[in-house]
């Protein structure tokens, strides 16, 4: 009777997370196309064979890391924008605060996610159904009711732009001497108050 193959040992979570952390770093710096699995293995401090043991391909590793990134960036707002019990102003305040807090903790997220959305828009849209969720959200309905003369996505794009762009441009501000790390962080905290005020002014303008 043939001997049964030995079961695969349980994953070493510390090694698996080490690989994923290295992948986050390298994918963020180089993007998917320019990244080699060898680069990730070297950054993780392991050999290539061990990386291949946990993740059979660069694509599989990328998709897992990308999924985590997108869930971090977009998963926060879903419960907020679909909640029919909160006001439009409350939704905007919550979205802005959640994003600023989360991106302050993970400053690499915007560039990484936005670059990959640009490179793989169909995969992103099909996986997360962002468009469908937005179209039927309470947020969009409230925007339509408040300003039926303006497409609601204008307000959404403006709010997200005011929230996300400073983090994307942060290296320019800091390397040019326009704002050091402390000043930048203080300004982001101030924007939690200012962005909802600016958005409210646009909503109420003639």
Q: What is the pLDDT of residues 104-135, one digit of tens each?
A: 887 777 777 777 677 777 766 666 667 777 78
Residue 18 and residue 61: Cα distance in Å, rounded?
Answer: 12
Class of the 12-65 domain? mainly alpha
Share of the chain above pLDDT 70, in %: 86
* 12-65 matches 76-204 in fold: no
Residue with tokens 């203080």: 186
Asked whether 184 and 172 are in contact (CB, 8 A), the reply is no
pTM equals: 0.72
pLDDT surpasses 80 at 199? yes
Indicate the helix (H) or strand (E) that contains 147.
Answer: none
Calculate what percentage of the chain has a pLDDT beyond 90. Answer: 42
Between 206 and 114, name the one with better pLDDT: 114
Angstrom distance (rounded) from CA 131 to CA 116:
17
Taking the C-alpha atoms of residue 100 and residue 90, their distance in angstroms, rounded to an integer, is 16
> What is the average pLDDT score of the chain?
84
User: How many Cβ atoms are within 10 Å of 140's Cβ, its own excluded?
Assistant: 19
Evaluate if residue 81 carries a pLDDT over 70. Answer: yes
Residue with tokens 């001997």: 3
Angle at 96 between CA 90 and CA 100, to 5 degrees: 145
Cβ 129 vs Cβ 44: under 8 Å? no
What is the domain class of 76-204 according to CATH? mainly alpha
Task: For the chain, give every domain's residue range.
Answer: 12-65, 76-204
How close are the terminal C-alpha atoms of the chain, in Å? 83
Q: C-alpha distances in angstroms, 192 versus 28, 104, 199, 206?
A: 26, 12, 12, 25
Which phi and psi (to 5°) does residue 30 adopt?
-110, -20
Lowest mean pLDDT among 103-107, 142-146, 170-174, 192-196: 103-107
| pLDDT tens-digit map of 2-46 | 455 544 445 555 888 899 989 988 887 777 778 899 999 999 999
User: Which of 25, 117, 28, 34 is closest to 70 using CA atoms?
Assistant: 117
């Amino acid at each position: 009777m043939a001997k049964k193959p030995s079961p695969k040992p349980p994953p070493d979570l510390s090694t698996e997370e080490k690989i994923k952390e290295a992948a986050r770093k390298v994918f963020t710096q180089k993007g998917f196309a320019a990244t080699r699995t060898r680069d990730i293995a070297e950054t993780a401090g392991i050999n290539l064979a061990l990386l291949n043991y946990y993740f059979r391909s660069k694509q599989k590793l990328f998709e897992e890391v990308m999924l985590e990134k997108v869930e971090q960036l977009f998963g926060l707002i879903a419960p907020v924008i679909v909640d029919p019990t909160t006001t439009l102003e409350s939704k905007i305040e919550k979205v802005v605060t959640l994003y600023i807090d989360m991106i302050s903790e993970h400053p690499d997220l915007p560039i990484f996610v936005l670059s990959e959305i640009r490179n793989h828009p169909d995969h992103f849209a099909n996986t997360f159904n962002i468009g469908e969720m937005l179209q039927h959200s309470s947020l969009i309905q409230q925007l339509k009711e408040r300003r039926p003369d303006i497409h609601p996505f204008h307000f959404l794009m403006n709010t997200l732009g005011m929230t996300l762009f400073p983090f994307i441009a942060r290296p320019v501000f800091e390397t040019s001497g326009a704002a050091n790390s402390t000043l930048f962080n203080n300004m982001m905290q101030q924007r939690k108050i200012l962005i909802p005020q600016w958005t409210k002014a646009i909503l109420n303008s003639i």
